[in-house]
Amino acid sequence: MYEIEYYEDRNGVSEIKAWIDDLETRSRRGDKDARIQIKQLYYVMTRFQQDGTRAGESYVKRITDEIYELRPGDNRVMLFGWRGNQFVLLSYFRKQSQKTPPLEIAKAEHLMNDWTQRKG
């Protein structure tokens, strides 16, 4: 099994956790799109926890040497491996093109570097 953590900045703020909380809230209020997105996200996260980076490219894809993306529906969740079987969810974005935008990769790398400097 693989463990998943959520990136938090120095002030304890987590963009990825806030996004998930928002999806859950909207889903409970009857937002069909949010319900579908949260269901897809949890399914992909569960598959990832079981199989890690070997879950298959429809669930997880390597973007750089250290950065991966989870692929729930049209959303993308950037993450990296941390200390053995742990992975840290960094950020998310909505897919709008075939390739991962360079700005999203740079953002994920920045967050990963911040995490490793503070936690390392």
Q: What is the pLDDT of residue 68?
A: 97
67-117 tens-digit pLDDT = 999 999 999 999 999 988 999 999 999 999 889 999 999 999 999 999 999
The mean per-residue pLDDT over the stretch 6-23 comes to: 96
pLDDT over threshold 80, residue 120:
no
Report the CATH number of the 3-119 domain. Answer: 3.30.2310.20
Rounded distance between C-alpha atoms, residue 68 and residue 64, angstroms: 7
Alpha-carbon span 60 to 102, nearest angstrom: 18
**Higher-confidence position of 9 and 120:** 9
The candidate with the shortest Cα–Cα distance to 64, out of 99, 101, 105, 95, is: 105
pLDDT at residue 84 in the model: 87
pLDDT tens, residue by residue, 37-77? 999 999 999 999 999 999 999 999 999 999 999 999 999 99
Give the span between the Cα atoms of 110 and 25, in whole angstroms. Answer: 29
Query: What confidence category does residue 12 fall into, taking pLDDT thresholds of 50, 70 and 90?
Result: very high
Partners of 76 in beta bridges: 93
3 bridge partner residues: 86
Domains in the chain: boundaries: 3-119
Helix (H) or strand (E) holding 61: strand 60-62
